[in-house]
């Protein structure tokens, strides 16, 4: 069952039934100022950091789901309704929510009145714009009462939800004309306030929540709206809100627009006040005046659209398959931008107060985004590397506002350092900017111990070889990519966090075959980088370690039909046929086949066949099989999940592309694409009632074959799944891959795919690439013609001439 449809021309998903199986959301803003907005106008706003600078309040996991947001109440005689259906839930005559690239338009119609609300954050602006358009489609005059509503959060979203003995006494507002200012804590340590304005005179306002709703009413029945009259309240403590009251008269056929601005301001210490206790409103007024007419708002939206035209013009495919094209050209790239901005902090599954930016997550996210805004990727790489320790280890997470490592979680995840090589190399291959390697980057944010970024890569590489276990495989530390394989945790205390507890690490024999495979892949990248820099001794030293690791994996990481997953604390095998449960895991088989380990000996095909046989399911490849059915103290969190969920045999979509890429290494295009389509959301639109989450973005996890309800997705939006799928499909399956000296053309496609075209902008030139597959092959480039002349390899040169180049590729 579908709840809407794709509108590819406008790059929108159009929801036509408000009762989606889960709130289907969108993100506004892409730099400093952000909002999350659901298809019924639920959600919240923050500046830079969803924990420390939360502007509006949100209650997660509420009853009913998704309560609280940017609401409009329209009172038309005795009927009260909202354009997004919620919160009033008055039955609408028409409903439509269009989620587009960083904007959302929600339209409702009731009794001949249409209300359309456009929500977006203009580029370079610390404010969300809401343009409300009311239209009278009847032959009578309509007299409407309109009430806006937002609820202020007291900035720190964590203490906002817990420290009531203080919070209920601190709230402060100021009201001037049609602008409501939220200034809680401004007179002491804060240099910021928020505001909510409308560009017409108001007939009233409210800023005290209890007065607006009535203490025992929900969002659906504010007392003020029922009464049809504001109370003009000024909040003192308790819970400050902002609501404007506007009386609107519409002639038959008439339309009126209202522009609301929800913004944020920072003032310097000596510019905080206009007079005693009266805040300096200059910056707020400046922003409000930038958007005080419909023309200005429309122009800002046009700029935003242009911005996205440009970003999405860098890589686009035309394959004749709409589902594939809309993912690659629009939604997958969009999701990559969102994960780049938010890492794992703020979604409808991540509260925005728990986690900052992940070291490994951000490096992986980069790969899906670096072609769009390489300058921001560059900055991100430096920020991430700055949280590394001198021995190559690193903070697992950092806070975006402070850019400091997060002490609560600390370090010790032994895969982390290697991802920095991935991030850096992806950036250089895209841009050719080797200069980044010379940047001086601190360790642990201490500038006095800065070294070049290249040195950071060296210590990343060395961190693995300095931490090898008894078999010569990398020690796992707290965990590798799989946060839930906690081999040194040994926790029997429910009050301990699996993420931060390690009760036994000294003397541990726990080794990771996944890190070993990762080390081979990124170790080779490191070697190549050294060679290009003329550091031949270092290249030779590193190559030796990589070669040794390959041998060690073949010897101690192979189980006969697939790659082992790990060795536990005691040195016993994990992911082996010998085990009773979880005989095989996806991660090590992904990385070792991506690395081509034992390809000649047939290990790769054997491992991939085992994955197909044991891990594949209708809805994707599960993480392990058989699922754990009891708790293994020596394995940790992974065995705490019910069978089929999350890291315990769920379809963890993030790592499915590793197998897809592995399949391309052995040239099995049919299988790679079969796996791709199983988890790609646009192919799942028809089963939305089962899949539950948005059909336009990937979810982290889909319930696996052992689950109660296989195929049900959770945790959409903020997942490395976005970048890995984009990386796999664009670089290894469609096969247009940036490399140091040019664009490599190396598709691996299904035999029945006839061909496709790709437009790729790369280092200052545009490549119009036409790939033909006349002989129905999977892989292998027969001929490449560039601008009419044969090219003697499948590497397209760097032109950098600002021109378009015609490339014809024949597979065979």
Positions annotated as catalytic residues are 483
Rounded Cα distance between 248 and 134, Å, is 9
- Nearer of residues 180 and 701 to ligand GLC, judged by Cβ: 701
**CA distances for 778 relative to 610, 663, 734, angstroms:** 21, 11, 11
Rounded Cα distance between 649 and 695, Å, is 22
Rounded Cα distance between 484 and 660, Å, is 23
Min dist. Cβ of residue 741 to ligand GLC (A): 32
- Nearer of residues 358 and 557 to ligand GLC, judged by Cβ: 358
Neighbours of 660 (CB within 10 A): 29
Neighbours of 781 (CB within 10 A): 19
Rounded Cα distance between 567 and 552, Å, is 13
Rounded Cα distance between 102 and 126, Å, is 14
- Nearer of residues 343 and 791 to ligand GLC, judged by Cβ: 343
Q: Which two tokens stand for residue 711?
A: 């195929």
Min dist. Cβ of residue 155 to ligand GLC (A): 24
Give the chain's radius of gyration (CA, Å): 28
Min dist. Cβ of residue 510 to ligand GLC (A): 16
- Nearer of residues 54 and 344 to ligand GLC, judged by Cβ: 344
Min dist. Cβ of residue 315 to ligand GLC (A): 25
| Residue 799, Ramachandran bin (φ over 0: left; ψ between -120 and 50: alpha; else beta) | alpha
**452 CA to centre of own chain:** 29
- Nearer of residues 90 and 499 to ligand GLC, judged by Cβ: 499
- Nearer of residues 646 and 678 to ligand GLC, judged by Cβ: 646
- Nearer of residues 232 and 501 to ligand GLC, judged by Cβ: 501
Which strand ranges, in their side-by-side order, compose the sheet holding 566-567? Answer: 511-512, 566-567, 573-574
Min dist. Cβ of residue 410 to ligand GLC (A): 13
**Any bridge partners for residue 133, and if so which?**
116, 257
Residues 341/30, Cβ–Cβ less than 8 Å: yes
Residues 384/359, Cβ–Cβ less than 8 Å: yes
SS3 (DSSP) at 289: helix
The helix (run of H) or strand (run of E) holding residue 760 is: strand 755-762
- Nearer of residues 479 and 603 to ligand GLC, judged by Cβ: 479
Min dist. Cβ of residue 652 to ligand GLC (A): 7
Which are the contacts of 228, defined by CB distance < 8 A and separation ≥ 6? 75, 145
Min dist. Cβ of residue 640 to ligand GLC (A): 9
Residues that bind ligand GLC (CB under 6 A): 344, 355, 358, 360-361, 481-484, 499, 637, 646-647, 700, 719
- Nearer of residues 371 and 646 to ligand GLC, judged by Cβ: 646
Min dist. Cβ of residue 654 to ligand GLC (A): 6
Q: Write 596-604 long-range contacts (CB < 8 A, 24+).
A: 596/665, 597/517, 597/520, 597/550, 597/553, 597/554, 597/557, 597/563, 598/553, 598/554, 598/558, 599/665, 599/666, 601/554, 603/554, 603/558, 603/563, 604/662, 604/665, 604/666
Rounded Cα distance between 600 and 584, Å, is 22
SS3 (DSSP) at 125: coil
Min dist. Cβ of residue 676 to ligand GLC (A): 20
Which are the contacts of 477, defined by CB distance < 8 A and separation ≥ 6? 412, 413, 414, 467, 488, 505
Largest interatomic CA distance in the chain: 85
Rounded Cα distance between 130 and 146, Å, is 14
- Nearer of residues 12 and 647 to ligand GLC, judged by Cβ: 647
Min dist. Cβ of residue 674 to ligand GLC (A): 24
Q: Which two tokens stand for residue 141?
A: 């005059």
Residue, CB closest to ligand GLC: 483
């Amino acid at each position: 069952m579908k709840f809407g449809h794709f509108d590819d021309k406008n790059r929108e998903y159009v929801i036509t039934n408000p009762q989606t199986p889960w709130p289907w959301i969108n993100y506004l803003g892409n730099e400093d100022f952000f909002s999350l907005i659901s298809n019924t106008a639920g959600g919240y706003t923050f500046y830079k950091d969803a924990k420390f600078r939360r502007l509006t309040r949100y209650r997660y996991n509420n009853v009913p789901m998704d309560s609280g947001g940017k609401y409009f109440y329209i009172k038309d005689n005795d009927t009260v309704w909202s354009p997004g259906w919620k919160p009033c839930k008055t039955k609408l005559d028409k409903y439509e929510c269009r989620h587009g690239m960083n904007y959302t338009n929600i339209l409702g119609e009731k009794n001949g009145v249409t209300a359309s609300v456009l929500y977006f954050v203009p580029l370079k602006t610390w404010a969300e714009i809401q343009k409300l358009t009311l239209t009278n489609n009847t032959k009578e005059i309509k007299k409407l009462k309109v009430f806006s509503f937002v609820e202020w959060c007291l900035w720190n979203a964590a203490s906002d939800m817990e420290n009531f003995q203080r919070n209920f006494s601190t709230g402060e507002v100021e009201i001037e004309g049609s602008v409501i200012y939220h200034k809680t804590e401004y007179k002491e340590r804060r240099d910021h306030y928020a505001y909510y304005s409308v560009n017409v005179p108001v007939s009233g306002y409210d800023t005290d929540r209890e007065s607006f709703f009535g203490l025992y009413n929900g969002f659906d029945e504010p007392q003020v709206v029922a009464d049809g009259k504001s109370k003009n309240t000024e909040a003192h403590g308790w819970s400050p809100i902002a609501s404007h009251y506007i009386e609107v008269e519409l002639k038959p056929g008439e339309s009126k627009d209202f522009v609301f601005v929800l913004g944020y301001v920072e003032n310097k210490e000596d510019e905080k006040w206009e007079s005693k206790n009266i805040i300096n409103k200059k910056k707020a007024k400046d922003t409000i005046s930038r958007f005080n007419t419909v023309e200005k708002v429309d122009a800002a939206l046009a700029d935003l659209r242009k911005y996205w035209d440009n970003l999405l013009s860098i890589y686009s495919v035309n394959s004749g398959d709409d589902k594939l094209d809309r993912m690659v050209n629009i939604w997958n790239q969009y999701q990559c931008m969102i994960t780049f901005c938010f890492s794992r902090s703020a979604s409808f599954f991540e509260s925005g107060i728990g986690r900052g930016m992940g070291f490994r997550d951000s490096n992986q996210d980069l790969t899906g985004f670096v072609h769009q805004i390489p300058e921001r990727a560059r900055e991100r790489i430096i920020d991430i590397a700055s949280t590394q320790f001198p021995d190559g280890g690193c903070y697992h997470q950092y806070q975006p506002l402070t850019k400091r490592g997060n002490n609560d979680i600390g370090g010790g995840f032994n895969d982390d350092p290697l991802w920095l090589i991935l991030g850096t190399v992806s950036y250089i291959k895209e841009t050719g900017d080797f200069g980044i390697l010379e940047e001086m980057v601190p360790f642990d944010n201490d500038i006095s111990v800065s070294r070049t970024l290249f040195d950071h890569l060296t210590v990343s590489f060395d961190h693995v070889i300095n931490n090898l276990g008894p078999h010569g495989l990398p020690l796992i530390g707290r965990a590798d990519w799989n946060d839930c394989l906690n081999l040194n945790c040994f926790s029997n205390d429910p009050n301990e966090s699996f993420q931060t507890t390690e009760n036994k690490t000294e003397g541990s024999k726990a080794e990771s075959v996944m890190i070993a495979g990762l080390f081979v892949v990124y170790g080779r990248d490191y070697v190549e980088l050294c060679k290009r820099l003329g550091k031949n001794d270092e290249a030779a030293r590193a190559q030796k370690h990589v070669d040794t690791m390959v041998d060690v994996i073949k010897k101690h990481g192979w189980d006969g039909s697939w790659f082992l997953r790990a060795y536990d604390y005691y040195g016993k095998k994990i992911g082996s046929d010998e085990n009773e449960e979880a005989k095989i895991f996806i991660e090590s088989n992904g990385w070792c086949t991506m690395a081509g380990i034992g390809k000649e000996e047939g290990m790769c095909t054997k491992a991939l066949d085992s994955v197909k046989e044991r891990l594949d399911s209708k809805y994707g490849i599960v993480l392990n099989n058989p699922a754990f059915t009891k708790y293994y103290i020596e394995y940790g969190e992974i065995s705490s999940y019910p069978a089929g969920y999350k890291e315990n045999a769920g379809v963890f979509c993030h790592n499915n592309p590793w197998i897809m890429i592995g399949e391309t290494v052995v040239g099995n295009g049919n299988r790679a694409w079969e796996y791709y389509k199983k988890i790609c959301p646009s192919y799942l639109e028809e089963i939305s009632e089962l899949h539950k989450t948005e059909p336009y973005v990937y979810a982290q996890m889909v319930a696996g074959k052992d689950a109660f309800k296989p195929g049900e997705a959770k945790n959409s939006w903020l997942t490395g799944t976005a970048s890995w799928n984009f990386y796999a499909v664009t670089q290894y399956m469609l096969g247009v891959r940036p490399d140091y000296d040019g664009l490599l053309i190396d598709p691996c496609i299904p035999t029945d795919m006839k061909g496709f075209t790709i437009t790729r902008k790369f280092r200052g030139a545009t490549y119009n690439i036409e790939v033909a597959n006349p002989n129905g092959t999977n892989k292998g480039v027969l001929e490449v013609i560039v601008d009419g002349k044969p090219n003697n390899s499948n590497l397209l040169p760097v032109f950098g001439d600002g021109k378009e180049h015609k490339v014809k590729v024949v597979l065979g």
